[in-house]
Structure formats: structure tokens, C-alpha cells
Structure 1
Amino acid sequence: MGLIHNDITPANLLVGTDGEIVALLDFDDSAQTFLAYDLGSIVSTFGKDQHRRVDIDRIVALVGAYASVLDLTRSERALLPDLLAAHAAAQGFHVLGNWLSAGREVGNPMDSYSAQEFLDLTETRSTLQQWVQNL
């Protein structure tokens, strides 16, 4: 448990002229919760390939880098694949809510990247579980 940013996206990163991240901005969504939940936001934003499909190698690199700075508990590591899928599902429900409130004229919510991310994470769950055990 700890304080997490909960919205690490390119829009909330201040990048220097050399390409290095110099600041993390916008702490409006920060919360005291499981550190692993922050990874849901990070993976959702940075854990995809150029086609916005889940990239297991990127996820492994992101989780490894995160865990090298903030140690995840054994429970968080064990639940990480499910937490990542839950984050994607929550984003999918957000898309669905927007679709419903717009009178169902926005398009098919199942075509959203969140829906695909959830499906991808579900498919790669066993691979992630095996990797997480070795963290």
C-alpha cells in the first residue's frame, strides 16, 4: 500500500529537451491504495505496441522498472495480472458509460482499445503470472 499517482500518461509528464522525464504532473487522481494499481494506468498507456495491442515484453520491462523503485508486496505481485485486467475492464466500463450516455451513437464500445486490452491481458495472464513469480 502507498500513495500512487494513478494517471501516469504522456500528458502528465514534463519532458526535457534531451527527452528525459523531468517531472510528473497532475496529482488530482492520486490515491492511497495498492501500488500495483498504478501499474494498471502505466501498462494501459505504455504497455502496448504500435497497433495498441498489449506487448508482453513492454509490460515486463515496465513492471520490472517499477518494482526496482517501489517494491511490490508478494500479494501485489501475485495479483498483478488480475489487477492489470481489472484496470482495463474499468476503463472499458468507462467507455461503455460514455457510449450509453451519448445515446449509443458513438460507435461500438467493444471496438475500443480498452476492450481489446482486457482481452489481450486475459489471454496473456498465465505468461504474466509466471514472470511475476520471478520478480
Structure 2
Amino acid sequence: MDDLLVMAQIAGRRCALHAHDVQSVIEIAAVTPIPRAPDFIAGITAMRSQALTVIDCRRALGFDPDHWATDNRAIVVSIAGYSYALLIDAIEDITSGMGQPEEIPGGFGPEWSRVATGLIETRVGPALLIDVAALIAGPDPIGAAA
């Protein structure tokens, strides 16, 4: 796998997103809350007159949002014709993957197992390869009830 990857920190872990899934990285200025939205949806923001749904990645994974520092930037992705701004801890780099994602015996932890497709080696070190659509779907309601 020689795909380009966008490296980011999410909930204190190094993560990789396929660069072809990433439209841009933006500075988040204002987020308008959405009444009755699930708590992992921080609200909406605008990018060049386009509305983006803002996803708090830590909450989407089921983590406490106040535990990690948040970058004032977000990764913009588009899934099924809808655009999202993913709030992350930090943007690290753009690099290429080396090899295929591999499973880890015992898994990645309950929060990550739903969104991580494997551990991938990159030029800047190992990272969890993230399924963006699964991340945007939010926390697992079955796992959240346990």
C-alpha cells in the first residue's frame, strides 16, 4: 500500500486517514450547536459558503471530550454526498503507508475496534487506519449501553 495518508492525533492516538477521503484541513472559528443532535455532533460550521456537520471525534469514539487538547483545525471529508468537519487533537503530517494494514492480536481496544481497519506502518511510525464512515456514524449504541 503506497497510498498517501493524512496523519492525525485522535483521542491521544496516532491515526491515519486515506488522503483521497480528505478534502481539506480548515481552521474552525465558530460552531453552531444543533438542538437535539447526538452529543458527538458538535454542531455546524461553514467553509466557503458550504455547511459542514462538525463531528467531535473523541465523543464519536465514546471518550471524554475534555481529556485531550483540541487543535483549532478540522479535517474535512465527504461521505455519501455530505460534508463533515472532524475535530481532532492535532494534524501531524502527510505520508505514505508501507504495506497493508494488519490486525493486532487482542484488538485495538473497544473504542477503536469499530472504526480502525488495522494498524499500518508509515514513514513516521505506526498508526491506526481509520474508516471515516464508521467514525462519522458515532459511538456504538450497544457498546455505549454496556
Report the TM-score, using the length of structure 2 for normalisation: 0.23
The structure with the largest strand share of the pair is 2
Which has the bigger relative contact order, CA under 8 A and spacing at least 6? Answer: 2
Larger radius of gyration: 1
